[in-house]
């Protein structure tokens, strides 16, 4: 009997926790409210199924619990009921899957007007690279990484010379402008994750992965690494600052191109040697 009460309380408690607790996703700051909507649909459908099954079970236990003289019914199967349940389940699954697949199509189709930003991960920090005046990112590979070239930009690629190198883990993005992130790592797997943007994707050494989104409100958003990357994984943080277009352009002016960065690094080296 206690179990009947427990089952009912579990259903009521779970629903109450869902509706009343303060733990919910963080307010969105990108165009992916479709994802949130699909999630809400899924919550409704699965929540209803959970409540229905557990409450039905509680009812069965209450109604058909053992009492002296009580006997079970011999009831091997009911084909019609089973096919009917299969059909309803299939419909419920389709109601979740179909919108999901439509949104996924959008998720993987980058709009043409999206600008590019390379996100660069290594144990355990973030850096970024933006195409320079020519609007094209130069090629890059772990092969080329050295003290003057921490991001491994291909020094023989003319498109790379004017690329902007942004170290320090903080980057600016203009609001309402779609952006395609090209994700690159030179050591282990990382994952570029900003909870407010919803999108995330692994960064795999040896290849370039991507996501895209449109920031929809200004503010500072924390970047976390979401793929385990070694001992300091939880401390691999950075910031994305979404600003209005003018402010963004001001910020752009302050950034160093790859060429400037490399010559600065070269200039700094003898000093370091002297200090040593």
Partner 1 sequence: MVDRGSDDQMQLPPREVADVMPPHAHSWIGKYVFSQDAKYIAIQYSGTAVAIGLVALVMSWLMRLQLGFPGTFDFITAEAYYQFVTMHGMIMVIYLLTAIFLGGFGNYLIPLMVGARDMVFPFVNMLSYWVYLLAVLVLVASFFVPGGPTGAGWTLYPPQAVLSGTPGGAQSGIILMLVSLILFIIGFTMGGLNYAVTVLQARTRGMTMMRLPLTVWGIFTATVMALLAFPALFVACVMMLFDRLLGTSFFMPTLVELGEKLSYGGGSPIAFQHLFWFFGHPEVYIVALPAFGIVSDLIAVHARKNIFGYRMMVWAIVIIGALSFIVWAHHMYVSGMHPWFGFFFATTTLIIAIPTAIKVYNWVLTLWKGDIHLTIPMLFALGFIVTFVNGGLTGLFLGNVVVDVPLSDTMFVVAHFHMVMGVAPIMVIFGAIYHWYPKITGRMLNEAMGQIHFWVTFIGAYAVFFPMHYVGLVGVPRRYFEIGEPEFLTAPVDGLNAFISSAALIVGAVQVLFLFNIFWSLRRGREAGGNPWRAASLEWQTPETPPRHGNWDELPDVYRWAYDYSVPGAPEDYLAQNDPWFSDGEDRRL
* Site residues (CB under 8 A) for partner 1, limited to 118-137: 122-124
* DSSP summary character for residue 64: T
CA 238 to chain centre: 15
5 is a contact residue toward partner 1 (CB under 8 A): no
Torsion of the alpha carbons at 50, 55, 57 and 61, rounded to the nearest 10: 160
Residue 185 near residue 203 (C-beta atoms within 8 A): yes
The one segment of 85-93, 125-133, 161-169, 257-265 that binds partner 1 by CB under 8 A: 85-93
Site pattern 96..115 for partner 1 (x: CB under 8 A): xx--xx-xx--xx-------
Residue 209 touching partner 1 (CB under 8 A): yes
Nearer to partner 1, 38 or 255 (CB): 38
Contact criterion met (CB below 8 Å) for 98 and 162: no
CB contact burial 65-96 (16+ within 10 A = b; e otherwise): eeeeeeeeeeeeeeeeeeeeeeeeeeeeeeeb
149: contact with partner 1 by CB under 8 A:
no
With contacts defined by CB under 8 A, how many residues of the chain interact with partner 1? 103
Among positions 33-72, residues that touch partner 1 (CB under 8 A) are: 34-36, 38-39, 42, 45-46, 49-50, 53-54, 56-57, 60-61, 64-66, 70-72
**1, 4, 262, 276: which is closest to 146 by C-alpha?**
262
Return the SS3 of 230. Answer: coil
**Residue that the structure tokens 């930003």 belong to:** 117
Choice from 33, 134, 176, 220 touching partner 1 (CB under 8 A):
220
The answer to whether 276 contacts partner 1 (rule: CB under 8 A) is no
- Least distance to partner 1, CB of residue 211, Å: 9
CB of 177 to partner 1, least distance (A): 21
User: Coil, strand or helix: which one is 202?
Assistant: strand
93 scored as a contact of partner 1 (CB under 8 A):
yes
For the segment 17-36, give every residue that binds partner 1 (CB under 8 A): 17, 21-27, 32, 34-36
- In the block, which residue shows the tokens 């980058």? 110
Q: Is the dihedral of CA 17, 23, 25, 27 positive or negative?
A: positive
Single out the residue of 5, 217, 234, 245 in contact with partner 1 (rule: CB under 8 A). 234
Restricting to residues 176-195, name those near partner 1 by CB under 8 A. Answer: 183, 186-189, 191, 193, 195
Q: Does 264 bind partner 1 (CB under 8 A)?
A: no
């Amino acid at each position: 009997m206690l179990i009947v009460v427990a089952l009912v309380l579990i259903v009521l408690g779970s629903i109450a926790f869902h509706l009343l607790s303060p733990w919910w996703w963080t307010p969105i700051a990108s165009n992916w409210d479709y994802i949130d909507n699909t999630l809400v649909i899924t919550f409704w459908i699965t929540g209803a199924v959970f409540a229905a099954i557990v409450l039905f079970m509680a009812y069965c236990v209450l109604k058909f619990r053992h009492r002296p003289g009580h006997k079970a019914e011999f009831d091997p199967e009911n084909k019609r009921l089973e096919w009917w349940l299969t059909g309803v389940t299939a419909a419920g699954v389709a109601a979740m899957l179909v919108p999901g697949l439509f949104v996924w199509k959008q998720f993987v189709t980058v709009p043409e007007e999206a600008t590019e930003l390379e996100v660069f991960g290594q144990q355990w920090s973030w850096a970024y690279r933006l195409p320079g005046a020519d609007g094209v990112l130069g090629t890059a590979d772990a092969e080329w990484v050295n003290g003057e070239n921490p991001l491994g930009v291909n020094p023989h690629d003319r498109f790379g010379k004017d690329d902007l190198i942004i170290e320090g883990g903080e980057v600016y993005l203009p609001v309402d402008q779609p952006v395609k992130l090209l994700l690159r790592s030179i050591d282990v797997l990382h994952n570029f994750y900003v909870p407010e943007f919803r999108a995330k994707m692994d960064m795999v050494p040896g290849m370039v992965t991507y996501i895209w989104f449109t920031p929809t409100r200004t503010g500072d958003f924390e970047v976390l690494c979401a793929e385990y990357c070694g001992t300091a994984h939880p401390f691999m943080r950075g910031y994305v600052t979404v600003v209005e277009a003018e402010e963004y352009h001001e910020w752009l002016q302050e950034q160093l191109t790859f060429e400037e960065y490399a010559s600065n690094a070269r200039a700094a080296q003898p000093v370091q040697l002297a200090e040593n």
